């Protein structure tokens, strides 16, 4: 409970500093309706909302009883976090070879396998759907060209 409360306070401070930094962005004569501060302001608001939700959950949740200490959830240790970092770092060279959609599919599958998910058709379907969704959002919806690889 204390960790979540302190984390929410820290996130709220980060959101406040981030929002303060967005107010220093200069206006432009070429801006559209949203302007250059639109997205950073929304991101600061989302971060603040998440921080408040974490804080409320930490305050409302019942304290853990001493009897449940035996089945305490194991926390992610540094080697586990470094493994996730390695998967993310390997994404960059893979995307340069395979291209964005296939690299994202492989990233989603590898994270699921790393987290202990047993391979089945649903895992591959979700990874394919996620890769397709993000490709459609960026390529078609936002018009942002994705990295092309040697294969695609």
**What digits encode the pLDDT tens for the residues 71-82?**
444 565 777 778
Exposure of 111 by Cβ count < 10 A (0-12 exposed, 13-18 middle, 19+ buried)?
middle
Q: Which of 107, 116, 130, 119 is nearest to 76 (CA)?
A: 116
27-64 tens-digit pLDDT:
776 666 667 777 788 888 989 999 898 888 888 885 65
The three-point CA angle 58-60-66 to 5° equals: 75
pLDDT of residue 33: 66
pLDDT of residue 146: 78
| Spatial separation of the C-alpha atoms in residues 100 and 149, rounded to whole Å | 7
133-147 tens-digit pLDDT:
988 888 887 777 777
Residues in Cβ contact with 143 at an 8 Å cutoff, skipping those fewer than 6 apart: none
């Amino acid at each position: 409970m204390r960790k979540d409360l302190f984390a929410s306070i820290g996130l709220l401070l980060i959101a406040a500093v981030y929002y303060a930094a967005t107010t220093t962005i200069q206006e432009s004569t070429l801006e559209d309706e949203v302007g250059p501060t639109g997205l950073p302001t929304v991101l600061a608001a989302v971060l603040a909302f998440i921080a408040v939700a974490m804080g409320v959950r930490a305050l409302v949740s019942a304290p853990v009883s001493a009897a449940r200490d035996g089945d305490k959830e194991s926390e992610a240790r540094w080697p586990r976090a470094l493994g996730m970092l390695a998967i993310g770092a390997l994404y960059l060279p893979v995307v340069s070879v395979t291209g964005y959609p296939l690299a994202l599919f492989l990233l989603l599958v590898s994270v699921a396998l790393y987290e202990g998910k047993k391979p089945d058709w649903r895992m591959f379907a979700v990874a394919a759907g996620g890769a397709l969704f993000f490709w459609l959002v960026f390529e078609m919806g936002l018009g942002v060209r994705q990295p092309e690889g040697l294969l695609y």
